[in-house]
Amino acid sequence: MSKLQAPKGVPDYYPPDSENFLYIKNTLAAAAISAGYGYVELPVFEDTQLFIRGVGESTDVVSKEMYVFEDRAGRSLALRPEGTAGVMRLIAEHSLDRNSLPVKLWYAGPFFRAERPQLGRYRQLQQVGIEAVGINDPALDAEVIQVADQAFKSIGLKQYQLHLNSLGCFECRSAYREQLTAFLSTLDLDPATKERAAVNPLRVLDDKRPEVKNQLVNAPQIAKSLCRACVEYQQEVEKYLLQSDVHFAPKPDLVRGLDYYTRTTFEFEHSLLGAQSGIGGGGRYDGLMKAIGGSDISGIGFGIGIDRTLLAAQAEGIALATPNQLDIFVIPLGEGAKSMAVSLVHQLRSNGFKVDMSYGDRALKGAMKAADRSGAKYAVLLGESELNSARVQVKDLTSSSQTDVPLDKVVEFFSNQAKEG
């Protein structure tokens, strides 16, 4: 019988490398929490219509990449390909927008897209995201971007660049759409791309294929079609970013792969990741809530890829998490000692120490090897003679020094060691 493997495009994370993954995830989340964002746990699958109406039926995400299935009642459901639409559904369903605004939420977890797998592009991708909903304010846009920037700085990343653009409001974007459509009609595009241009011409600007990108060099820029209000809004965003010490580079051809974006649009790219250089991005989505049946309020958010941020940190050679090392490894020698060891492990864990013990009645040599591999600083040896004398031997696995400690003073001993550093 053949050995089973994880589905193609789904990475596994396991110790000790999984500690780095968890560190990245927690650091990204910490930046959101420090800015007042509350946590939400989203369903892994939703009604398919949520993404068709919210993300856009013409997008690659919905038309080509979603995992869609029917439940036993024949309802069409989809594994979530992104987080924003789900957050909007949650806010509308539970009337969170009727309370104090903006509603500021963060989330984390796996998202699913049937893409062609390669390094940094997975079918199960891990993200941390935030959404700030209900207020149309350039300062809020700047805050969302600053949270992402702070998260990357906290990890220690240096070789990344923030790109910034405005996609305008619905009114000024309509005029730009006409210009862009006329321009695209003159290009030598394949039938599928022509069809995409007819449905949503801005999506063509996001095409990464060289044969398309080379033809877009002289494409009209949306910045020249922005109305005065959108220009002033973008200027305010840029002013607040500079005041927050967030460095950025304008990118007039920047668009995002989802239909709901308006005005502020941004993306973080890392110079060492090659083709899959994007490590996070987002923007404002003024019509999304209304599109899924909620109130007509605006929002802005981002999604940061945990997988790609981890790759970026590794590419820069950044030392990430200190491994989740044990404090103490307890070694019982003999059946009577095992019973006492189980009790001692419980006491130590109850007092905040990270503790493991030797299982399977190993001999001393094998148990000491296990203690060394565990990364624990101390080993506690508990044999029949120690049991009879109500004492244990504590061995410092770094210096190899050994201390005789009364059994009822073990917790106190390790508490004193922790205080001494």
Mean per-residue pLDDT over the chain, rounded: 91
Q: pLDDT grade, residue 104 (50/70/90)? A: very high
Tell me the per-residue pLDDT of 118-160, one tens digit each, with 9 for 90 and over: 888 999 999 999 999 999 999 999 999 999 999 999 999 999 9
CATH number of this structure's domain 328-420? 3.40.50.800
**End-to-end CA gap in the chain:** 52
pLDDT at 208 (0 to 100): 76
Tell me the per-residue pLDDT of 9-44, one tens digit each, with 9 for 90 and over: 999 999 888 999 999 999 999 999 999 999 999 999
Rg (CA), the chain: 27
pLDDT at 258 (0 to 100): 60
Tell me the per-residue pLDDT of 210-255, one tens digit each, with 9 for 90 and over: 888 888 888 888 888 899 999 999 999 999 999 999 999 999 888 7
Write the CB contacts of 401 (distance below 8 Å, at least 6 apart in sequence). 395
Write the CB contacts of 123 (distance below 8 Å, at least 6 apart in sequence). 7, 8, 9, 10, 112, 113, 114, 115, 117
Query: What is the arithmetic mean of pLDDT over 275-284?
Result: 92
Tell me the per-residue pLDDT of 344-397, one tens digit each, with 9 for 90 and over: 999 999 999 999 999 988 889 999 999 998 889 999 999 888 888 889 999 999
Instruction: State the residue for tokens 């005005």.
Output: 263
For residue 421, pLDDT over 80 is answered with: no
pLDDT at 395 (0 to 100): 95
What CA–CA distances, in Å, run from 185 to 25, 201, 250? 44, 10, 27
The one-letter amino acid code at 263 reads R
Q: 233 phi and psi, to 5 degrees?
A: -60, -45
For residue 323, pLDDT over 70 is answered with: no
With a pLDDT cut of 70, the percent of the chain lying above it is 98
Tell whether domain 17-169+227-315 is in CATH 3.30.930.10.
yes
Q: pLDDT grade, residue 257 (50/70/90)? A: low
For residue 59, pLDDT over 80 is answered with: no
Each domain of the chain, given as residue ranges in start order, spans: 17-169+227-315, 328-420
For residue 301, pLDDT over 90 is answered with: yes
For residue 207, pLDDT over 70 is answered with: yes
* CA torsion angle 408 410 413 414 (round to 10): -150
For residue 281, pLDDT over 70 is answered with: yes
0.85 surpassed by pTM: yes
For residue 173, pLDDT over 90 is answered with: no
Shared fold status for 17-169+227-315 and 328-420:
no
Q: pLDDT grade, residue 55 (50/70/90)? A: confident
pLDDT at 204 (0 to 100): 82
For residue 321, pLDDT over 80 is answered with: no
pLDDT at 249 (0 to 100): 96
